[in-house]
Amino acid sequence: MAASTVDGEVEVFTLPFKKSRNLKLRSVWGMGKELYMFQSQIPHKEREESQRSFSESNIFDVQWNAEMHDIARKLVNETHNIFVILQGQVKSLSQSILYSQLRKASKQYRAVLKACSMELMQIADSCTDESKKLKYEEHIQEFEMIQLIWSLCEILFIDVAPGGLVLTSLLDWLQWHFQEGKQLATKVIHSDQPCEHPQYWEAIYRLLLQGDTENVRKLLALNVFSHSDSFIAVDEVLKKMPRWTYQHAQSVAEYEMKWRHWREECVRRYEAGQFAAYPELETIVQVLCGDEAVFKDLKDCCETWYHLLVSKLLYQNPTCRIQDLTYEIKPCQAVFSNSSPQIQELDNILQAALEFDLHQVIKDSCTFLSNRSWWFVSHLADILHHCGQLDPQELPFGSNLREYLLLEYATSLMAHKSLYQVGIDYLDFCPVFGRSYIEAYVERIPLETERKAHKILHICLERDLLVQAQSICKVMGMKCLKQERFGSALSWFLKSKDATVIKQVTDRFLNEYCEEGKFSHLDLIDHLGPSMLITNSLTFLAKYREFHTFYNNGDVKGAVNLLLSLISSRLAPKFFWMTMLMDALPLLNLPEVVFNVSQTYELLHCLEELQRDGTSNYKNLKETEIEKLKLLRIALTRNLANAILQERSVRTVSIS
C-alpha cells in the first residue's frame, strides 16, 4: 500500500474577508462537511477593550464535497438503490452468483452515470447563464472522466474476460469513449461527395484504429474508385480479418493461427504492390500488418496514448493477456508528449489501472476526483472490495479502505436537507464506525415537523438506537408541551417512557379536568394499555378514567371500589383529591347505601387530611364549592349513620 492513501494536496478556499493583524478567522461546525466562518478579534492577555478594528459582521456557511449532490440528485438517489440491493446480495449470495451480481451492479452504476451526464449536457445546452453553464460543463467533463476510469477498471478488475484475453473488451471501451471516428463517418456519408470530403480518410483511419472494419468497408465502398483492383483487394483483406469471440468455441491457438495466416496474406499482398496505386490504401494495409511506423503517423487519430495502446495491440498482438498491457504503456506514452496537467492526472490514474496498482488508482482518484463528491471512489471501492481486489486488512484508523471512503461519502450527504436518509443507509454498511456515526448524526437532524420526527424515530428504532429514539421523543414531547398540545406531548413521552415528563402532562390533564370537568384526550387515555404501567401518574389517570366508565355504565359497586382504592392509594396529586371526593357525592346520595362504614371513614380521612393541610386548592375554593363541601360532609355523616345501622356495627366503632 502506498505511503499515504488518500492524501492530496491541501485544498485552499478563500473567503471575502479583510485581512487585519487584529483579527482572526473562526469557525463553527455544522452537520457533516459544513462550517460557519466568521471574523473575530484577537484577544489580549488582559482581556481589555483594545483598539477597535473594523470587522466584517457576516458569517459564511461553507460546505465542501457536496457540490455534486444538488447537480446530480438522480445519481445519488438511483445509485443508492443499486448500492443497497448489492449489499443485501453480498450477505446472501454464494461467491459465484455474487460475482455476476457485482458485474451487473458495476454496469448499472455506469449506466446511471451516463444518463446523468447526458441529462446535464441537455441542461448545459439550454442554460443561458454563462457561469452556471461553465459549472455544468466542468461536471460533465468530470463525469466523462469517471466513466472512462470506471469502465477500464471494470474490464481489468471486475468483469475480467475468460483466459485474460482482454482485447475485445478494450475495443468496446475505445468505441464507447472515443466517438469522434463514428461521428466523422456519419458526417462524411451524409455529405454530397463523400470521398471528396476533406476528412474522408481521417474517418476511415479512426474507425480502422478502433477495429471497426465494417464501417471502414462501407466508407471505402463510397469511393469513386471502389471498383478498382486495389480497393477490391483491401475490401477482401478487411473482410477476412479474423475476429476473436467467446461465443464460437474456437480455441486461442486456432484463432492465433488464423490471424497469423491472414496477416501473412496482408504482408504478401502489400509487398506485391497490390495497393501501391493509392497511398491511403497502403496506409490502411500497413495498419493491418501492424507496422510500427504507421501508428506513429496516425497518432492524432488516436488522440491519447491509451487509445494508441489498444489500437497497436489489436494489430500487433491480438491475443495479448491482461498482464501484457503493462509493457505497452511506456512506448505508447512516448509517442505523445507534453499534455496538459489535468490530462496528466487522468493519465496517471489510467496508467495505474493498467499497471494493476488499484490503491494508486483510488488514491489518485480521491485527490483528483473527490473534490465535488466522494461518490465515485466510494462506489468503485465498494465493488472492488467485494470482488476481492482490495486489501481487506484493517488500517490504523480502525477499519478498511472501503469503509473509509464510504464514511466520507455518507458524511458529505449528512448536511443535505433531504439526502441525509441516503447517508444513513450508507452508514448502515460500514461495519466498524457506521453505527456510531449514525448515533452522532441522527440526533442532530432538525425535527421541523411531526412527520419528519416520526421518520427519524423510525430510523432509530429500526437500528435499535434506543437512547437516540428516547431523546427525539423527549424533544418532540417538550415541544408539544410548550405549545400546550398535551395529547401529542403525552404520546411522544409515552414513547420515551420518561416518568418525570409524563407526570407533567398527566398533571395538566387532571388540572384541565378540575377546571372544565372533562378530559380532552379521551381516546388517548382510553387506549393506554400496558403503557399505563410506566409511571404511577399514568396508572392513576387510566384508572380514574375507568371509574368514569363504571359510573356511566351504572356499575355502582365497581365505581365505588375503584374510587376508594384510588383515594386510599394516594396516587393522585393533592389538587385532585377534592375532585375525587366530589365524585363520591352523587354515590352517597343514592337511595341505597353503597359505602360501608370503613369505606366512609376512608373518605372522611381524606377530607380531614385535605382540610388539615389547608392546601391552597382548598383555601381558594369558590363559594359554590365550599357549599359543595358542606354538602359532602353532611352526605358522609348521613351515610355513616345509615351504614352503621345497616351493619349494626355501632359497638365495634365505639370500642375502636
Partner 1 sequence: MASVINSVDTAHEDMIHDAQLDYYGTKLATCSSDRSIRIFDVTNGQQTLITQLRGHEGPVWQLSWAHPMFGNMLASCGYDRKVIIWKETNGVWGKLYEYTQHDSSVNSVSFAPHEYGLMLACGSSDGSISVITNAGDGSWDSKKINNAHTIGCNAVSWAPATAPNSLFDSQSVQQGLVKRFVSGGCDFLVKIWVEDNGQWIEEQKLEGHSDWVRDVAWAQSIGLPKSIIASCSQDCRVIIWTNDGVSNSWTSKILHKFDDVVWHVSWSTTGNILAVSGGDNKVTLWKENLESQWVCISDIHKGHGTIGERPSSG
Q: Which of residues 491-510 bind partner 1 (CB under 8 A)?
A: 500
Alpha helices in 72-179 (DSSP H): 73-92, 95-126, 130-153, 167-177
Beta strands 34-41 and 23-29: pairing type?
antiparallel
Tell me if 453 contacts partner 1 by CB under 8 A: no
Q: How far is the CB of 495 from partner 1 (least distance, A)?
A: 13
Residue placing its CB nearer to partner 1 in the complex, 279 or 446: 446
Shortest gap between Cβ of 139 and partner 1 (angstroms)? Answer: 9
Rounded Cα distance between 451 and 454, Å, is: 5
39 binds partner 1 (CB under 8 A): yes
156-177 as b/e: b if 16+ CB within 10 A? bbbbbbeeebbbbbbbebbeeb
The answer to whether 349 and 149 have CB atoms below 8 angstroms apart is: yes
Check binding of 391 to partner 1 (CB under 8 A): no
- Candidate list 209, 224, 444, 539; residue touching partner 1; CB under 8 A: 444
Nearer residue to partner 1 within complex by CB, 116 or 607: 116
Hey, which residues between 159 and 198 contact partner 1 (CB under 8 A)?
none
Query: What nine digits make up the cell of 486?
Result: 398535551
Q: Provide the minimum distance between the beta carbon of 521 and partner 1 in the complex, in angstroms, as a whole number.
A: 21
Name residue 304's beta-bridge partners: none
Q: Which residues partner with 26 through β-bridges?
A: 38
Please list every residue from 578 through 607 that binds partner 1, using CB under 8 A.
none
Q: Smallest Cα–Cα separation from 281: which of 355, 225, 340?
A: 225
Q: How far is the CB of 231 from partner 1 (least distance, A)?
A: 50
Site residues for partner 1, 402-421, by CB under 8 A, read: 404, 411, 414-415, 417
Contact pick of 84, 90, 93, 123 for partner 1 (by CB under 8 A): 123
Please, which of residues 42-101 interact with partner 1 by CB under 8 A? 42-43, 45, 47, 49, 52-53, 55, 57-65, 67, 70-74
Distance CA 527, CA 317 (A): 79
Of 184, 266, 313, 401, the residue at the interface with partner 1 (CB under 8 A) is 401
Contact residues for 89 (Cβ-Cβ < 8 A; gap 6+): 98, 101
Which part of the chain contacts partner 1 (CB under 8 A), choosing from 30-38, 194-202, 291-299, 603-611? 30-38
**Is the separation of the CB atoms in 26 and 58 below 8 Å?**
no
- 3-class secondary structure, 389: coil
Q: Least distance from C-beta 25 to partner 1, angstroms?
A: 5
Amino acid letter, 12: V
Contact stretch for partner 1 (CB under 8 A) within 6-14, 224-232, 506-514, 635-643: 6-14
- Taking the CA of residue 557 as centre, how many other CA atoms within 13 Å lie in the half-sphere pointing to its CB? 0
CB of 19 to partner 1, least distance (A): 5
Residue 126 interacts with partner 1 (CB under 8 A)? no
What the block records as the C-alpha cell of 427 is: 452508514
Provide the CA 430 distance to its chain's centre, in angstroms: 12
Cβ closest to partner 1, residue 123 vs residue 604 = 123
What is the widest separation between alpha-carbon atoms in the chain?
144
Measured from the CB atom, the residue of 270 and 437 that comes closer to partner 1 is: 437
Nearer to partner 1, 417 or 557 (CB): 417
C-alpha cell at 172: 468496446
- Taking the complex as a whole, the smallest distance from the CB of residue 515 to partner 1 amounts, in Å, to 20
